[in-house]
Structure 1
Amino acid sequence: MAAANERKSRGLSLSLPRRDPVPQPLPLPPPSADNNNNNNNNSLLHRFRLPLIPAQGRIVSLDDLDLDRKSLLGAGSGGKVYKVVHRWTGRIYALKIIQEKHELDVRRQIMREMEILLRAKSPHLVECYGVFDRGGEVSFVLEFMDGGTLADVLKFHRTISERYLAEVTKQVLLGLLYLHKHKIVHRDIKPSNLLINRRQEVKIGDFGVSTVLAHTLAQCNSFVGTCAYMSPERFDPDGNGGEYGYAADIWSLGLTLLECAIGRFPCLQPGERPDWPTLMCAICLGDPPSPPPDASPEFRNFISCCLQKDAGRRPSAEMLLTHPFVKKSELQPCSVSTLLQGLVV
């Protein structure tokens, strides 16, 4: 109560309320009782064509056979990401490859990611230029972010100061605002899914576990994403009506920013294993983590707003864009590209 009164007295509280052989379209999952969007997916795939780009005075197709792999940018359970160069134009892209044969549920997830990537157009989201399927190996040609991820920056600098975090926060919130207005919950906001380039842009990437909500009031009820950044209502769906929604992304953003500020994952002590039971106890039963004592009142309040255990009390992305901590990025502008000095991707 005292903390709440202190925030109120300082005026920091918020009101709550993507030649030979020719690439083939992705195979659709067989019909099932719960695959209600099958017709929509068919329509999408029949409309899909290889993107065209200008090259040496003519228009050529962006084909993955014309992409030379230069380096491995990252790897995970979902596949690998390469830095590639288009032979005809010299343009650099990121090539995300989802390998191996896929189970029905995985194919549905790939289809979901394809649909989201093709229709999501925002300067605050990593752009998808093409999607290819060759022998069951699915590839996404993506915008190359030459500064890497926020996780790369954090590893290089150990911590990130508030003046930079304010600008990062503003751009990520604009990306979340776009997603949420289009009924998309990202479900995997974390440092490695926030990308930076040397044009001072921060963009949200990797929609592999995103979902398009059926309608404005629909909620998500599946366990996907990185559990370390999951909100309490995702760990304990029974205690929250079995549902979660856009507010889950706000919690994940709060944890991400706090991790950048203190240089370690905030819900666990150094050396503590990040297994499911430990994380569940820390996030569902423990108090939300707080910024260090020397953090600014604005940052402390912003993190407090994001890390409300009651999802209904978390402000929306639109509301958080008016928060004093975010407004600092306008009053004290800085170039996030400065964080990339000395960093090699």
Structure 2
Amino acid sequence: MLNKLGKYEIRRELGRGAMGIVYEGYDPFIERTVAIKSIQKSMIDKSEAGEILSRFRREAQAAGRLTHPNIVSVYEYGEDGDVAFIAMEFVAGTELREHFDRTTRFKINDSVIIMTQLLDALEYSHSHGVIHRDIKPSNILITEDGQVKIADFGIAKIESSELTQIGTVLGTPSYMSPEQFMGLAADRRSDIYSAGVILYQFLTGERPFTGSNMTIIMHKVLNHAPALRSKLNPDLPDALCKVAEKAMAKQPEDRFQTAAEFIKYLKIAVESPAPEARAFSAEATKISGSAQDPQKIGVGQSSIIDFNMDDFEVRLKESQREADRKSGIADIQEQQDNSLREVNLGFHQFILSQESVAIPAAALPVSDTHILPAAPAVLNESGLLAGLAREAKESLDSRQSALQESRTRDGRVNDALNRIAKFFNPFIRHVNEVGPAINRTYRYDARTIYSSLKWRDATIESRKQSLFDAALTDFVALSINLCAPGPVLLKRPWGPLETIKKELQVLKLRVIDDMDAASKKPKQEWLETRLAADFPVQIKFQGNYTESNINVVCLNIAAFGASVCKLDPDDVTPAFLDDLGIFLIGRSDKLPAQLRCV
């Protein structure tokens, strides 16, 4: 173990990862304990060194410009020989992840206190141009006195920086926003989504989207709504459910736009008393405590909080009207209200009163005869019924037109998926017979490389779904096994075994040797184990009939990892399918532009 890094004395090792070590250190000049995160430059593959070291420096730059009581402070970035390091605040606390792993159920008040501190730190960070992009329980520390500290700005985005390009998927799957999965630009609303996931976990004890691999989680994040209410905890207050659901909206523009706004509505939800609360006895009030000030309710006290949904909705609408007035939306709505009054006036003129029915048509004002050119001449003919009949017919025609338009759009998606299936069925059969060599190299890390690959045992799967009165194609999935000449050696510095296992599981890389048995042997500098020679390449075309396009979910398609994009049904042409087929059999290194550019 090192004795010193720069001016810092090394006291002990706190943790170890694939490329670096975290130490407890001591600054002899200021006389304070620090945490030191280090990377050994010689352990990084030369082709990746630039990006990894840039990201490491960016972590110091991002956190170093932030001074906030709920953010771990960075003191210094330095290099000492072969080691680059960051010296930062030493926090004696527990990761929120450990609390969740122990299935600790937080009281609502305690959850709100933690969430408020987290969001306050994010509001400060965002206001200084830093987007964290990896908000998750393992990056949130809680001290013994309940103070929250956000750590690990390793993949943070500084708004003036261009280091992270659009198309790069970074983050932790269960806490990543839909736009991060799709490789789109992440902004402050991505952090708000991740914070919403943590609020969900506080309220329910579970993550909203889970799965055995990244592809399954990604599919759920992009296509499913979280089951927040009766399925998990029927006692959850409606107001808090609405706050969590808004924070986790699929579209960034539908979420809270700032962390401060998130805090505002979180407090409104907690501070809104339920109508039943007014009827509670004084004894019940003593038991439940004051819902008006969540900061005064400590750990171990009752978390019963009652809500007045009417009051919550009123506050929500008032705040929205205030925001609308500032943005100019109120003027538009006022014009719409005036238009509505004109329509109502016309409708009232249209409906004849019983007294006016008996008046001859000639006696009606000109405006009325214009509105009702066929005014009833006898008592048994109702102008109201005639008008309602016309409205009903117009409404029915409109619905039928919309339905026909929807079916046309659905038909485009369905036809495109059928073209994909029609192409790949014979394609798979012929290529399986040939078993071509794939001139592509896959790197798990600097030392674990799959090369000289051959195509093995590809399969295709598709499924229909019922939508309205039609059976439409749900998805078409292609799976290929690529096989190296023999087992591949995985050699890397010792780190947490479960982390390595999860990484391999996500990529579907199979381990031949018993890693658990190896971990029980006396610790060596390196972990060595053999990986199976084969691994899957998967591409799934999922019909998105809501948005009238196709979601394309890929695993290990051009390199190890998962990606997702959208495909316009009209782009599924013979030329596109040929280009994709040529790429899959290794005759080209370029994916079709329609997939790359989405």
User: Fold conserved (TM > 0.5)?
Assistant: yes
Cα distance in 2 for residues equivalent to 1:190 and 1:177: 16
Q: How big is the alpha-carbon RMSD for the aligned residues of Structure 1 and Structure 2?
A: 3.0
Deviation at 1:282, TM superposition (A): 0.7
Name the aligned partner's letter for residue 67 of structure 1: I
Give the SS at the match of 1:151: helix
Deviates more, 1:168-177 or 1:326-335: 326-335
Name the aligned partner's letter for residue 251 of structure 1: Y
Equivalent residue, structure 1, for 2:205: 263
Query: Which structure has more RCO (C-alpha within 8 Å, separation ≥ 6)?
Result: 1
Deviation at 1:91, TM superposition (A): 3.5
Residue 305 (str. 1) matches residue 243 (str. 2) = no
Give the SS at the match of 2:264: coil
Q: Structure 1 91/233 Cα, relative in aligned 2: closer, same or farther at 3 Å?
A: same
1:245 equivalent among 170, 183, 187: 187
Deviation at 1:229, TM superposition (A): 1.1
Deviation at 1:254, TM superposition (A): 1.1
Name the aligned partner's letter for residue 53 of structure 2: R
Q: Structure 1 135/262 Cα, relative in aligned 2: closer, same or farther at 3 Å?
A: farther
Q: Structure 1 289/106 Cα, relative in aligned 2: closer, same or farther at 3 Å?
A: farther
Contact 2:112 2:294 in 1 (8 A): no
2:179 equivalent among 233, 249, 254: 233
The C-alpha deviation readout for 1:144-178, integer Å capped at 9, x for no partner, is 22222111222345332221110011111111101
Deviation at 1:263, TM superposition (A): 3.0
Deviation at 1:186, TM superposition (A): 0.3
More helix by share: 2
Give the SS at the match of 2:94: coil
Deviation at 1:336, TM superposition (A): 7.0
Unmatched 5+ stretches in structure 1:
1-19, 24-62, 340-345
Give the SS at the match of 1:141: strand
Residue 320 (str. 1) matches residue 259 (str. 2) = no
More strand by share: 2
Equivalent residue, structure 1, for 2:90: 144
Contact 1:128 1:140 in 2 (8 A): yes
The C-alpha deviation readout for 1:200-241, integer Å capped at 9, x for no partner, is 3112110000010129xx99653212122111111124xxxx
Deviation at 1:182, TM superposition (A): 1.2
Equivalent residue, structure 1, for 2:474: none
Deviates more, 1:139-148 or 1:248-257: 139-148
Cα distance in 2 for residues equivalent to 1:226 and 1:323: 26
Deviation at 1:192, TM superposition (A): 0.6
Cα distance in 2 for residues equivalent to 1:261 and 1:75: 32
Deviation at 1:113, TM superposition (A): 1.1
Q: Structure 1 263/22 Cα, relative in aligned 2: closer, same or farther at 3 Å?
A: closer
TM norm structure 1? 0.69
Contact 1:302 1:325 in 2 (8 A): no
Give the SS at the match of 1:284: helix
Q: Structure 1 205/305 Cα, relative in aligned 2: closer, same or farther at 3 Å?
A: same
Residue 286 (str. 1) matches residue 232 (str. 2) = no
Cα distance in 2 for residues equivalent to 1:78 and 1:295: 43
1:135 equivalent among 75, 81, 91: 81
**Structure (1 or 2) with the larger CA radius of gyration:** 2
Q: Structure 1 193/256 Cα, relative in aligned 2: closer, same or farther at 3 Å?
A: same
Contact 1:93 1:141 in 2 (8 A): yes
What is the number of residues matched between the two proteins?
268
Cα distance in 1 for residues equivalent to 2:206 and 2:36: 29
Q: Residues 1-345 of structure 1 correspond to what in structure 2 (within 5 A)? A: 23=6, 63-64=7-8, 66-69=9-12, 72=14, 74-77=15-18, 79-86=20-27, 91-101=32-42, 102=44, 103-214=49-160, 222-237=168-183, 242-268=184-210, 272-273=211-212, 275-291=213-229, 292-315=233-256, 316-325=258-267, 331-334=293-296
Name the aligned partner's letter for residue 287 of structure 1: A
Contact 1:198 1:337 in 2 (8 A): no
Cα distance in 2 for residues equivalent to 1:300 and 1:257: 10
Unmatched 5+ stretches in structure 2:
272-290, 302-598
Name the aligned partner's letter for residue 244 of structure 1: A
Deviation at 1:78, TM superposition (A): 5.9
Q: Structure 1 262/193 Cα, relative in aligned 2: closer, same or farther at 3 Å?
A: same
Deviation at 1:136, TM superposition (A): 2.9
Cα distance in 2 for residues equivalent to 1:159 and 1:282: 25
Name the aligned partner's letter for residue 300 of structure 1: C
Give the SS at the match of 2:295: coil
Name the aligned partner's letter for residue 285 of structure 1: N
Q: Structure 1 22/247 Cα, relative in aligned 2: closer, same or farther at 3 Å?
A: closer
